[in-house]
Copies of this chain bind each other. A is one copy, B any other.
């Protein structure tokens, strides 16, 4: 399937650093709770995970922002980064107001060594079914992005067992038994590589690795415990598939990230986009980085902040507009309209 190029190829061209008529745009969590039509579909599904497990409803929520905002240049798989550890047997649930919770967090070397590596077409078949259904539904109008969490980020959830502010359980593991943590990261890397290869086989045309917690590592540890595992996944996938790497809070380590083989780096809102471009040169594409909270502001401020991001990106090819993090539920859909109209006028 992925051999057929989509009719709108701005996003894929920008990933190859080819000229485009205007910067391509997509939005992290564009299929999300800020949209009333999404909330209605989720209500119908019963829960977030039930929605993830229903391929037709996944295709429906992927379609919703594309129908509302014709300026969007890519679709992204509707799923969650925690499907992989769930398939490794950790028992994922979402507690109201608490976020994800694992019934069986991983704490010891013995637990790590006993973890299975899931077969993506068996334990994660529902995700592959979603990829196939969404891809068919898109009918080659737009490219489809597949994704996974970075091994470090997934390990954080697997060891902590839930969202955390201090990451003390995983840090304690890192500072008491780094060899065990490396075995865990290697296993997640193996599972994630198979998972992303299966997404490609099912029809994904580009991939993104979300290193949501890379930024909590020390300077000395970022490469060893996060980036190197992302680079391993990248190296194990077909070289013609573009992979985007996004380390939230990783703005101090762009040089290391730029040398890890990715087609593009995602940038959060704390990064100076113009300086980032000057630093990485034309080695790879950049994606981002409007402060998601700007969408809570006035249309005037929002237009100005969006334009400032476009100005910082400059005229060089290889730029993809996005927010610096996912769009949040408290944003009104009309705010994203302001953003996307500003990008489309660029």
Contact = CB atoms under 8 A, between A and B. Distances in A.
Interface of A: 165-168, 171-172, 174-176, 178, 215-222, 249, 251-252, 269-273, 291, 293-294, 296-298, 301-302, 305, 308, 324, 328, 330
Nearest to A215: B270
A272 B297 contact: no
A166 B99 CA distance: 14
Contacts of A293: 166-168, 171-172, 174-175
Given A165-B165, A251-B252, A252-B252, A269 B219 contact: yes
A137 B153 CA distance: 47
B174 A270 contact: no
19 contacts: A168-B293, A168-B296, A171-B293, A171-B294, A171-B297, A172-B296, A175-B293, A175-B294, A175-B301, A176-B296, A176-B301, A217-B270, A218-B269, A218-B270, A218-B294, A219-B271, A219-B273, A249-B249, A251-B252
Contact of A271 (B166, B252, B294, B297): B252
Contacts of A251: 252
Contacts of A305: 175, 218, 220
